[in-house]
Structure 1
Amino acid sequence: MKFKQFAGKFVEFYRNFWKAITILLLLTLLGQALNLIAPYIYGKILDALVAGKSAKDIMLVAVLSLGVYTLQTMVVDRYFYWYNINKLRIDAHQYISEKTLDKVMTFSVGQDINQNSGVKQDVITRGEHSVATITNTLLYEVFPVVIQVILFSAALFFINLKLGFVVLAGMIAHLAANIYINCKFKEEAGQIEEKEIDNNKIRSEILRNIETVKLNSQEERVISEYREDSFTVNNLSKKLWSKYTLYSSCRDMIIGLTKFAVIATGAVCYSNGSCSAGDLLIFFSWSSSALGKMTSIGTIQRILMTAYASVKNYFVMMDVEPDVRIVSNPVKPGKYLGQIEFKNVSFVYPKRNYIEEKNKKETKLFEGRHEALSNANFIIRAGQKAAFVGHSGSGKSTIIKLLMRAYDPTAGQILIDGHDLRLLDLRDFRNSVGIVEQQILLFDNTLRYNITFPLNGKSELVSDEMLDKVSRLSRVSEFYHRLENGFDTIIGERGVKLSGGQCKRVGIARALIKDPSILILDEATSDLDAQNDAIIQQAMKEVAKERTTIIIAHRLSTIKDADKIFVVNGGKIVGEGKHAELMKSCFEYQNLVHSQVHVF
């Protein structure tokens, strides 16, 4: 991303706040103009003292100086800080946070799966923080410095042309050095930023899987791996900023030389009578302020350089287009009947794509990848109970991902009640589908909140009778009354207060609460003991009535009474029929059954 594009996007982010920014810039201009007055008054006081003016006249000028200082600190500066906090900083932070969430919600489920969540979180956190850092640095540091340098330079020329040229030459040389340093270190700083993102990914993975680390006694190993990677990144950072310090020290020498030239030139001017002692005081004060501000540019530059790399990665993420596109005027059939048809559907998983600028280059996302699903054709009639069986990696979960439109097929067509899935209103369709996944993800909130989550925040509209019905069907009714506050019990992060079987039941209740036309049970009884398996299987039989139900299962005992069983192997549908039919006609199904013969 080039700087021009970066600047354009940054300005676009603050388009809604231009009024506030304009007022803050005007206040900055007024404040810096007032900064000119005090040194000017001090110079005139000195000239008055040298000229033998009366103490009364001098005191009047001093009182004027106090009035200017009071105006600046108690009015201009105070209003600047108040206006920034109340009209810009807090509101802008909220706006950017919401804008980020809006963008992330446009990504397909497939993009969320492909993108490492730790990397994405790090890019967002660093990016939003750095946007605020750049904004505050511009408002509190850069703009005041620029305005002060311009005003003071103009004033210096007004007092003495020669001294004005000396200061201007020093400023131009210092600015040129800053541009050179920025160009020299910008790319390297960006590379270190990317390495820091990768390093933070390692740390987030450790924290996310901390239980697995501890249970396998791998604490020392993961810390050692993180330390080794951190050591590499930190060494690169130290080398970069050590070189930067050397260059910046040489750059700041320009200011020292300019101050020396100002003193020497001022002494000559005073000696030949071209300026008074008061003029020299004014000039030295103005030039010292302007040149002093120039020395702070080094610190400002380092802050902006680091923030620039983070914001650039953030902007790259914000530019990522969703790979599942929603058509204009999508179809809303109303009540779905639940018929599903796959017509010549093939799919290849895209390569994993990290949110980094280097991945913005043109790449062939599917080059060299094997088909996860190949020319799949099948129909599930409305109200049927269908099952997909096969070994791990055979393509069962891929079918569900395509049905939920986590991805679009690379070839073929998926029809829901005769409508192309790509033409349907995606939110409307997903509201008609209930899914119970193998791993039930729960919020650190109440049991009621988790069950009613699909209802778009309208849990208060759910009657106790409806909640009781769903609880009975899902078997949540067998344990919720034992919780400390019943349905209003906080169940903890990932449902830590519930057992695995109880979490499964909450997942079933969450799927049923919206009365779906299509119910998907993806390995709903995996990892459960015999007792919980029996409970969940009985619940599944009851909830499958009067709706299209799809079951993904390794345990063939859960699907032997299905209306249709599809056998998946190597991404292909190799068998279709009832259990008895497949036992006669499908070799792959026979092998699956024989491997689990004890369940029949």
Structure 2
Amino acid sequence: MKSLFKLRKYFARYKTTIYLGFLFIFLSNITSVYVPLFIRDGIDELRRQISSPALIKYALLIVGVTFISGVFRFLIRQTIIVTSRKIEFDLRNDFWSHLQKLSFKYFQNTKTGDIMAHATNDINAVRNFIGPAVMYSFDTFTLFVFTLALMFSIDVELSLLSLLPFPVLSIFVYYFGKKIHLLFTRIQEHFSVLTAKAQENLNGIRIIKAYVREQSEINHFRNLSYEYFKKNLDKIKVDSLFHPILFLTIGSSIIIIMWFGGMKVINNQLTLGELTAFILYMGYLIWPAIAFGWITNLTQQAAASQKRLNAIFAIEPEIKDSHLTNYNIKSLNGEIEFRNVSFKYREKLPFVLKDINLKIPAGATYAIIGHTGCGKTTLVNLILRFYDVVEGEILIDGHNIKTIPLKVLRNEISFVPQETFLFSDTLKNNIAYGLNGSSEIEVNQRIEEAVKIAHLTPDIESFPQGIETIIGERGITLSGGQKQRTSIARAIAKGGKILILDDCLSAVDTSTEEIILTNLKNFMKGRTSLIISHRISTIKDADQIIVLDNGVIAEQGTHEELVALDGIYARIYQKQLLEKELEEI
């Protein structure tokens, strides 16, 4: 239950509307409880003398009061339930906003399906508490108080007798409440596993089909789904015991009233109208008793879900602006320096980069080459501050990278990742993704320039809708080379003083690669450029080439200098020359 206290700020935001909703509940219940009194008076008066005017009078009174109560009931939903949807909207947006601020490491260590379960099932369970649970808590409480007050005004002894089963009910509610909380927590946790598996399968459908693993995945998903089914069944068993106990309690109270109330009517201690009103009021208590169990269920589910959400909200981004940030830095020139930089992904893992010392002048083009796993991508990830260095420091324009506002840093870097990611949108919107706040004319100009440099124009002209073509999820309708060139165009359109190309021409043939590199030369003038590649042809014209080996800078120099050195670079170059000669045979 303590986890739900985190919702106080949302309730405070809409407190006026919520209080208004409580007022409507009060007015709705205070009018509705008069109906049994009118029935009591009507029965007693008609017993003395049956007359049409009396019958019409009480019928109109009952209909009128019921109508007024119904109007207030409508207003309750327009205030409290609508407010619960607004709070759900705020909570979901806050959750999404918090996710966007979390560090890259969090997403590496957390399954996407798990996050999706939080964003859907957990927030929906909390919404059910904010709306129905809160509304019916106050509703049932006021109805219970008003009903008991009127029952005591009719007959104190009979009222006390009707309440005898309720202490037993409170014991059951406490027991079942704890049980439901535990079971629902397990259900939500397993739903995350199930969602993660579904998401993973859909993303990897090509591999599943290529390796003929459909049946294996079906069986695995069926097993997970069956576990989810069993956990839900355990909760249903508890629910199936809980509700009959509620009805048994209310039924026991009605039996007591019928017996002792009937005896009082026979002994002229109670009128027939009063007994009828009493039975009707017991009917009024049935809903609070049932709702009490339902509210307990909703509250325990919400508490379990909010606890899971709070755990995510409590995670502080590792990479963020801090007291060290210098907000006077508004732009960058692009000089990059690594001073004694070492990095490892976790405490107990080995260093990926070791004692890197490197200075890249502003406007220079540097290339990085090395065997797979030598730390090339890690090096550029540190410039983007996806991670912070473990030892040493990185400086840009003489400023420690940690003092540069994250927004300024990343706005000045155009990045083409090794793994191309495109959104399920038009080709145009994907290329214009980094152009925030630009006018339509400027956006179109930049896109046109970027498309030419990335050599995408022939492909766009072949598409039926041209640049407005929807490319599907992750760019599924494009070839590997088209995806990479679209990603390059996106980085070019964004601009910035630093350009990072992380092995982004691997799916492009050598002739297309040559065209793109020629086109890029003008764009790269005045920009600091870092090119990572396994192909010598991609990087041979760079001002300096860095050869990484086992996380250290093994060699550095121009293409000619490194070939003459006859080291790692020369061996890679000779191997690629031989491969090219074999292809031409």
TM-score by length of 1: 0.89
Q: Is the 8 A contact 1:434 1:520 kept in 2?
A: yes
Q: Is the 8 A contact 1:347 1:371 kept in 2?
A: yes
Q: Is the 8 A contact 2:320 2:406 kept in 1?
A: no
1:403 Cα offset (Å)? 0.9
Which residue of structure 2 aligns with residue 355 of structure 1?
none
CA distance 1:273–1:411, shift in 2 (3 Å): farther
Q: Is the 8 A contact 1:47 1:278 kept in 2?
A: yes
1:119 Cα offset (Å)? 1.5
Determine which of 449, 470, 473 is the counterpart of 1:490: 470
CA distance 1:303–1:211, shift in 2 (3 Å): farther
Residues 204-250 of structure 1 show CA distances to partners (whole Å, capped at 9, x for unaligned) of 11122223322332221111111112222322332343244235534
Determine which of 159, 183, 206 is the counterpart of 1:188: 183
Which residue of structure 2 aligns with residue 78 of structure 1?
74
1:197 Cα offset (Å)? 0.9
1:399 Cα offset (Å)? 1.2
Which residue of structure 2 aligns with residue 30 of structure 1?
27
Give, as a single letter, the amino acid of the residue that structure 2 aligns with 1:106: K
More displaced, 455-464 or 20-29? Answer: 455-464
Matches within 5 A, 1:441-590: 441-462=421-442, 464-583=444-563, 587-590=567-570
Describe the SS at the equivalent of 1:61: helix
Matches within 5 A, 1:48-127: 48-52=45-49, 54-73=51-70, 75-84=71-80, 88-127=83-122
**Any gaps of 5 or more consecutive residues in structure 1?**
351-365
Give, as a single letter, the amino acid of the residue that structure 2 aligns with 1:198: V
More displaced, 253-262 or 25-34? Answer: 253-262
Determine which of 131, 137, 145 is the counterpart of 1:150: 145
Residues 487-528 of structure 1 show CA distances to partners (whole Å, capped at 9, x for unaligned) of 333333333343322222222221122322110000111133
Which residue of structure 2 aligns with residue 317 of structure 1?
312
1:486 Cα offset (Å)? 3.2
1:163 Cα offset (Å)? 2.2
Which residue of structure 2 aligns with residue 382 of structure 1?
362
Q: Is the 8 A contact 1:28 1:144 kept in 2?
A: yes
Residues 313-337 of structure 1 show CA distances to partners (whole Å, capped at 9, x for unaligned) of 2232223211112125633434422
Which residue of structure 2 aligns with residue 47 of structure 1?
44
Describe the SS at the equivalent of 2:317: coil
Query: Identity of counterpart residues, as a percentage?
Result: 27
**Any gaps of 5 or more consecutive residues in structure 2?**
581-585
More displaced, 578-587 or 517-526? Answer: 578-587
Q: Is the 8 A contact 2:341 2:357 kept in 1?
A: yes
1:53 Cα offset (Å)? 6.4
1:38 Cα offset (Å)? 0.6
Q: Is the 8 A contact 1:111 1:323 kept in 2?
A: no
Which residue of structure 1 aligns with residue 17 of structure 2?
20
Residues 277-324 of structure 1 show CA distances to partners (whole Å, capped at 9, x for unaligned) of 111111111112213431344344434434443333223222321111
1:585 Cα offset (Å)? 5.0
Give, as a single letter, the amino acid of the residue that structure 2 aligns with 1:145: T
Q: Is the 8 A contact 1:24 1:83 kept in 2?
A: yes
Is 1:11–2:44 an aligned residue pair? no
Q: CA RMSD in A?
A: 2.6
CA distance in 1 between counterparts of 2:352 and 2:174 reads: 51
CA distance in 1 between counterparts of 2:331 and 2:566 reads: 36
More displaced, 7-16 or 579-588? Answer: 579-588
CA distance in 2 between counterparts of 1:485 and 1:339 reads: 41
CA distance in 1 between counterparts of 2:517 and 2:167 reads: 78
More displaced, 173-182 or 93-102? Answer: 93-102
Q: Is the 8 A contact 1:372 1:395 kept in 2?
A: yes
1:178 Cα offset (Å)? 0.7
CA distance 1:370–1:151, shift in 2 (3 Å): farther
Q: Is the 8 A contact 2:183 2:231 kept in 1?
A: no
CA distance 1:80–1:557, shift in 2 (3 Å): same
1:558 Cα offset (Å)? 1.5
Give, as a single letter, the amino acid of the residue that structure 2 aligns with 1:138: A
Give, as a single letter, the amino acid of the residue that structure 2 aligns with 1:14: F
Which residue of structure 2 aligns with residue 197 of structure 1?
192
Matches within 5 A, 1:307-456: 307-327=302-322, 330-350=326-346, 366=347, 368-456=348-436
Give, as a single letter, the amino acid of the residue that structure 1 aligns with 2:275: L
Q: Is the 8 A contact 2:178 2:300 kept in 1?
A: no
Describe the SS at the equivalent of 2:414: strand
TM-score by length of 2: 0.91
Describe the SS at the equivalent of 1:382: coil
CA distance in 1 between counterparts of 2:419 and 2:83 reads: 42
Describe the SS at the equivalent of 2:358: strand
CA distance 1:235–1:491, shift in 2 (3 Å): closer
1:136 Cα offset (Å)? 2.8
CA distance 1:370–1:220, shift in 2 (3 Å): same
> What is the aligned length?
579
Describe the SS at the equivalent of 2:494: coil
1:461 Cα offset (Å)? 4.1
CA distance in 1 between counterparts of 2:518 and 2:178 reads: 68
CA distance in 1 between counterparts of 2:443 and 2:344 reads: 44
Give, as a single letter, the amino acid of the residue that structure 2 aligns with 1:403: I
Describe the SS at the equivalent of 1:453: coil
Q: Is the 8 A contact 1:525 1:537 kept in 2?
A: no
Describe the SS at the equivalent of 2:546: strand
Residues 119-175 of structure 1 show CA distances to partners (whole Å, capped at 9, x for unaligned) of 212211112222222223225533322221122122222221122223334333323
CA distance in 1 between counterparts of 2:79 and 2:120 reads: 26
CA distance 1:240–1:493, shift in 2 (3 Å): closer
Which residue of structure 2 aligns with residue 293 of structure 1?
288
CA distance in 2 between counterparts of 1:185 and 1:132 reads: 18
CA distance in 1 between counterparts of 2:312 and 2:131 reads: 23
Which residue of structure 1 aligns with residue 583 of structure 2?
none
1:583 Cα offset (Å)? 4.2
Q: Is the 8 A contact 1:518 1:549 kept in 2?
A: yes
Describe the SS at the equivalent of 1:479: helix
Residues 35-91 of structure 1 show CA distances to partners (whole Å, capped at 9, x for unaligned) of 201111101111112233654344323322221112122x21233334456x52553
Residues 339-397 of structure 1 show CA distances to partners (whole Å, capped at 9, x for unaligned) of 111122222324xxxxxxxxxxxxxxx3x222222332211111111122222222111
Q: Is the 8 A contact 1:449 1:459 kept in 2?
A: no
CA distance in 2 between counterparts of 1:373 and 1:476 reads: 36
1:252 Cα offset (Å)? 4.2
Determine which of 259, 262, 267 is the counterpart of 2:257: 262
Give, as a single letter, the amino acid of the residue that structure 1 aligns with 2:47: V
More displaced, 330-339 or 285-294? Answer: 330-339
Q: Is the 8 A contact 2:369 2:547 kept in 1?
A: yes
